[in-house]
Structure 1
């Protein structure tokens, strides 16, 4: 949890600073891709706030109405972030880019005055984008370190498997946003430089459209990944097999009749099982066997926070 919060705070700081820089660049130059990038960074900044709210809410203690805690709050707020990323940043960027392509009238031609000095407009945008890339690289480095630590911890093959299997959607969302932000800044930079080199402002407008499509595509992917957890996804099949073996190896266990797992929060899983035990066990021995099995399950995988074992004799 602490790792996730640190990743989100780093992204919040970076995106807030970048949004101010990009909006200033747009006001000075009127670049379509800079306005798209402004939408992007403002959306990202708001999204980090939602993620922090999700983290704070998920830290509430379990209650009668929520016996397995509030961990799924992070799944909900991450899903909300994906919707906002698609609906606000993505759609507005696409709309503005399309308008600039069709109607023109925007671009990076001319000069601007800053603190009494005069510069070509494209200088300002390039400087802003390089600053954005520096901030985003800092945020992405933090998010990547958290994701990589999970890859090492759970033995995943790489980012692809982590994207499919992680239950830490807060870190995943921050990592995805930071990656998109770097790609978007790169697209905007290419569009502005091509417009300067060719004298054709359409490249800047096309970059704005592509940034919007990029945002919408990644937003859909994030929404899909959050959906699986909101609906109650189980631990990976190989992990379930290992945990089932842990129960089988426990004292007095004759057979594992049913076995189920489900994520109830980021890196928090519930395990339930119906287990046939030695019919000659006394009541005290049954209790001891179940307690021992529960302890071994939690030791086998730290994501197992809740265990319910129903004995059958």
Structure 2
């Protein structure tokens, strides 16, 4: 998935850089406030792609004594920073530009056809970038053997833990919507001779960027503070472990994403009475295999299984335990 993420990011990076330069020239030549807002947006998106690439690169660093679980959450941090920039730079500047033009000074749009040409080219580039990101996004669904439809796409969008692809898709969607708003504002200003519509479109673009940025920030915040795997996967793990003959019940299951494809799993399992030490040791291997069957890419070194027998004064690890009723799936 990392290679797919990089492909989506590079497609967005080169597309946005060319678009940003073209929009800047159009904004200078025509004086359109909406084009200035789109220029801020595209240059911000270009910087954002660089930050996403930095996140992918730094997340692959080997674990150290100070960071024993590795640097996988670097991706979440840089993606959160991208959301902040999208909100703080693109959104605020677009709002400021539109408000200034609307309240303080009027402006006149010239060479309107240049704007239309640049916006049309921009929509083509943004559409291609969105197509590449969507293809990568769709592959995650197909890899699980599920049919790609509106329901599975919506669920994947909610449950995806790949911030890079998610960010590119959100940015490109906001960009296409922003282009449509800019084109409408310029068209209405040209038809009516009133530049107010152009200024309003800049404000609307700023609002769109802030809404999309808030969504990205919320998603990455959840991953940064320790979001677990989806409930359906937790249930599959529990059901699978309960199929092991020696297992009496699952007391607790806790998971956390350390990266898009890096998961920490801690499980506490109660065993049936009368098992000897050799059988107890074998149960640990069985539990790990069941977990790995549900999450094939998980690193076995990040699976922690604690076993106990209710009838014994001590558990397998020699630690006194009290019986717990019910299953704790806190994640």
TM-score above 0.5:
yes
Q: Deviation per CA, 1:12-69, whole angstroms, max 9, x where unpaired?
A: 1111111011001111111101100000001000011110010001111223322222
Shift of 1:199: 1.5
Q: Does the alignment pair 1:268 with 2:262? A: yes
How many Å separate the matches in 2 of 1:92 and 1:174? 21
Alignment of 1:93-132 (within 5 A): 93-109=94-110, 121-132=111-122
Q: Is the Cα contact below 8 Å between 2:233 and 2:294 reproduced in 1? A: no
How many Å separate the matches in 1 of 2:290 and 2:129? 38
**Secondary structure at 1:309's aligned position in 2?**
strand
List gaps (5 residues or longer) in structure 2.
310-331
Q: Deviation per CA, 1:99-125, whole angstroms, max 9, x where unpaired?
A: 11113432323xxxxxxxxxxx10111
Q: Does the alignment pair 1:60 with 2:61? A: yes
- Structure 1 residues 162 and 207: alpha-carbon distance in aligned structure 2, compared to 1, 3 A threshold: same
**Secondary structure at 2:254's aligned position in 1?**
strand
Specify the alignment match of 2:77 in structure 1. 76
Of residues 218, 222, 236 in structure 1, which corresponds to 2:230? Answer: 236
Q: Does the alignment pair 1:227 with 2:221? A: yes
Specify the alignment match of 1:50 in structure 2. 51
Shift of 1:153: 4.0
Q: Deviation per CA, 1:132-177, whole angstroms, max 9, x where unpaired?
A: 1111011000111122222344558244322321111111011000
How many Å separate the matches in 1 of 2:202 and 2:216? 21
Shift of 1:248: 1.3
Aligned CA-pair RMSD: 1.6
| TM-score (norm: length of structure 1) | 0.92
Greater relative CO, 1 or 2 (CA 8 Å, sep 6+): 1
Specify the alignment match of 1:211 in structure 2. 205
Shift of 1:301: 2.2
Number of residue pairs the alignment of both structures matches:
302
Q: Is the Cα contact below 8 Å between 1:26 and 1:35 reproduced in 2? A: yes
How many Å separate the matches in 2 of 1:151 and 1:212? 33
Specify the alignment match of 2:307 in structure 1. 311
| TM-score (norm: length of structure 2) | 0.87
